[in-house]
Chains A and B, each alone.
Chain A
């Protein structure tokens, strides 16, 4: 990361001051790391036997299986949520009043609720209503219900962020609503939405960890099972968390690469933005889509 705007071209006195503060801050960060490692060592949590297990194929397979379960649920929910969210956005922008009202109510209500509520309702409530599914299916259902509402709002904001002249021009040359949508509005709007969509998909991937609570054997639950079984709970939970970080970083990178390639192919200048900044851009002013937290 280059020096931020607030700090360009320092004078000699400021440079000296920065150097002193850098040394102190660096020492503090190192001290923090040292204390943490010491803590682990003192409690015997750095012992080789506690970490050696992760080189055993059986343990590795168990963790990878958990990651596989996580990815399976996440992927299914992503596809469904994007499709339904897209439908919801179109519904909210439709000319038909009841459709607009219904989809609006769905979005407003569902994105105001915790994902966990959907998961618990699916897992504890649906069987009593005679709907029997597997834990994975309940999880997919719940994640889809919530994320389709959030994605619907992102799609809507993206479509609305496009200059009205685009769709007006499309209508003026005689395109129908659907043709204008398909050939003029969506290709441009989608590109603007990519960062917001990606960070929501990362959120979805993270939310699969809530499957832990209903005992679905995703990565976190497998980490706990393995840790309790082998007596290295702390280490197993740390490894599971690191695997989540790896998955999310890869997902973010792949999406960003796709986006950059797309921009280059279309000859559009790339806009330097992080997810958060782009969200506020997509949102325009006021009442934007939800932050992906």
Chain B
């Protein structure tokens, strides 16, 4: 275990990048998720088709395949970003599909009378969605969103495949250089230090704002 402590600075650097990857991709993914969910319940057919196709395609493709396709394949058509940016883009596109599904299931839990009442008041579809339905929908899916956030933290480890120096990359190179498998216990502690508090935090949020069903 002392090898872990001796290299704590490297671990912390990796951890910082993991946190940065998580927060930035989640922010982007949340916007994508909101858009996809709105599209899927909108009265405009082409938007519904687009969102459905997007969600089905992305959800059924492995994240690893998306990263590899984006980083090694897309330069052939002139789309090329740095490693960190590629990781953020792919993680956001992937996580956004799942967030969209969860938010949509939240929208389905809002009683139809809410939307009907809002429409009776003369609100347009975007207004109904933004000011009446979504605020209630989001409150009912705090738990699942927390699970997705936690999964995102763990999924950032895929950035190792394109050499972003996040926690998994740093510890894997360290473990190989030192020929010391004990390093991976340090990695595990690092990830748990992020995922476990995340779980508690979302439980607390859910207790505060959650809608009991």
Interfacial residues, chain A to chain B (CB-CB below 8 A):
1, 3-7, 10, 14, 17-18, 21-22, 25-26, 29, 39-40, 43, 45, 108-109, 112-117, 120-121, 124-126, 128-129, 202, 206-210, 212-213, 220, 224, 227, 233-234, 237-238, 240-241, 244-245, 248-249, 252, 274, 276-277, 279-280, 283, 285-288, 290-291, 293
Contacts and interface: CB of A to CB of B under 8 A. Distances in A.
Interface of B: 40-50, 52, 56-57, 60-66, 68-69, 72-74, 76-79, 95, 98, 101-102, 105, 107-108, 112, 115, 124-125, 128-129, 133, 141, 143-144, 147-148, 150-152, 154-155, 157-158, 160-161, 168, 172, 175-176, 179, 181, 184, 187-188, 191-192, 195-196, 199, 203, 206-207, 210, 212-213
8 contacts: A25-B50, A45-B77, A112-B191, A113-B154, A128-B179, A206-B63, A212-B161, A237-B65
B62 A206 contact: yes
A43 B65 contact: no
Given A39-B78, A113-B191, A286-B203, A220 B62 contact: yes
Nearest to A212: B64
Given A40-B77, A224-B72, A237-B69, A245 B60 contact: yes
A115 B48 CA distance: 33
Nearest to A40: B77
Given A7-B42, A233-B73, A293 B108 contact: no
Contacts of A40: 77
A148 B98 CA distance: 22
A93 B119 CA distance: 48
Contacts of A22: 44-46
Contacts of B210: 285-286
Contacts, number: 207
A49 B130 CA distance: 49
A25 B48 CA distance: 10
Chain A interface mostly: helix
Contact of B161 (A18, A213, A245, A277): A213
Given A40-B77, A220-B65, 7 more contacts: A5-B112, A109-B192, A124-B181, A234-B69, A249-B56, A277-B105, A288-B143
Contacts of B102: 276, 291
Given A22-B45, A22-B46, A117 B168 contact: yes
A241 B44 contact: no
A241 B65 contact: yes
A287 B202 CA distance: 9
B20 to A, nearest CB: 16
Contacts of B160: 116, 213
B73 A207 contact: no
Given A6-B128, A22-B44, A113-B154, A43 B64 contact: no
Contacts of B41: 4-7
B168 A293 contact: no
Contacts of B115: 5-6
B62 A209 contact: yes
Contacts of A128: 179, 181
A226 to B, nearest CB: 13
Contacts of A280: 105, 141, 143-144
A277 B45 contact: no
